[in-house]
Amino acid sequence: MKRYLITGCAGFIGSNFVYYMLKKYDDILLVNLDKLTYAGNLENLKGVEGDPRHVFVQGDICDKELVTSLFEQHDFDYVINFAAESHVDRSITNHEIFVETNVMGTVNLLQRAKEAWYDAEAKTWKEGKKYLQVSTDEVYGALGAEGYFMETTPINPHSPYSSSKASADHFVKAFHDTYGMPINITRCSNNYGP
Ligand SMILES: NC(=O)c1ccc[n+]([C@@H]2O[C@H](COP(=O)([O-])OP(=O)(O)OC[C@H]3O[C@@H](n4cnc5c(N)ncnc54)[C@H](O)[C@@H]3O)[C@@H](O)[C@H]2O)c1
């Protein structure tokens, strides 16, 4: 059975991801760590209530002890980090929480995953592990009426929100480049619908 630590999945995209995964896979465990900020809503997860393949944990991705204990309990194969402060307008009025959650929270998840998955002496990673960071196209900055972004487009964030997401991406890449951590970063544009 594959075991996932998924974060922020009482929010918009993450809750849809829970439904998608539970419909697609029988033999799976999704441990959903969400702080339930103003953006999280357990109503989004009503349809999976009572499903033993989904375990909800209310907590903060910045909480070292909590994330360590979840790794100890569940021996995760994958981490998928959806959790974020995600609204640009709010980042303009209060950017500090964006640094805490989006940057420090991501670094905490990376570090806890590294402790669980990495053999520092042998410099090897356990087989089949992966960390996936859900980022945003906004790390590339603004696009005019024409053109498109590519993976090779220089990072050029402007808002505190996109700067915090870009910073998190750099840490994810640094864990790959420095320690060889198996990672992916996705940078989707705006989502809508289920
Ligand atoms: N919605 C979009 O169109 C869009 C586009 C591109 C990228 N993204 C990215 O996708 C991810 C999910 O976006 P969304 O629209 O579903 O966001 P959302 O705001 O709907 O949900 C975010 C979730 O994260 C939780 N959360 C916030 N801080 C937390 C913390 N410290 N610890 C644990 N949980 C915490 C909230 O309670 C909430 O459930 C984000 O990382 C966002 O940057 C979203």
How confident is the model over 58-101, as pLDDT tens digits? 999 999 999 999 999 999 999 999 999 999 889 999 999 999 99
Write the CATH number for 137.
3.40.50.720
Q: Angle between the 64-74 and 106-117 helix axes, to the nearest 10 degrees? A: 40
Dmax (CA) for the chain in angstroms is 51
Q: Which residues pair with 188 in a beta bridge?
A: 136
DSSP 146: S
The answer, yes or no, to whether any atom of ligand 1 lies below 6 A from the CB of 166, is: no
Closest atom of ligand 1 relative to the 137 alpha carbon: 6
Distance 59 CA to ligand 1 centre (A): 14
pLDDT band at 143 (very low <50, low <70, confident <90, very high): confident
Q: Is residue 172 part of a domain?
A: yes
Whether 193 is covered by a domain: the verdict is no
For residue 104, what pLDDT band results from cuts at 50, 70 and 90?
very high
Domain-embedded: residue 194? no
User: Is this model's pTM higher than 0.85 or not?
Assistant: yes
Domain that holds residue 139: 2-188
- Give nearest CA residue, ligand 1 atom 13: 13
19 lies in some domain: yes
Q: Is 98 in the pocket of ligand 1 (CB under 6 A)?
A: no
Phi, psi of 127 (to 5 degrees): -60, 140
Decide if pLDDT at 1 tops 90.
Answer: yes
183 lines ligand 1 (CB under 6 A): no
Cβ–ligand 1 contact at 136 (below 6 Å): yes
* Distance from C-alpha of 64 to C-alpha of 131, rounded to nearest angstrom: 17
Report the 10 Å Cβ neighbour count for 22.
Answer: 16
Q: How many structural domains comprise the chain?
A: 1
Among 166, 119, 159, 116, smallest CA distance to 139 is for: 166
Contact 109, 7 (CB under 8 A): yes
Residue 144: per-residue pLDDT: 84
Residue 127 domain-assigned? yes
The whole-number pLDDT of residue 171 equals 98
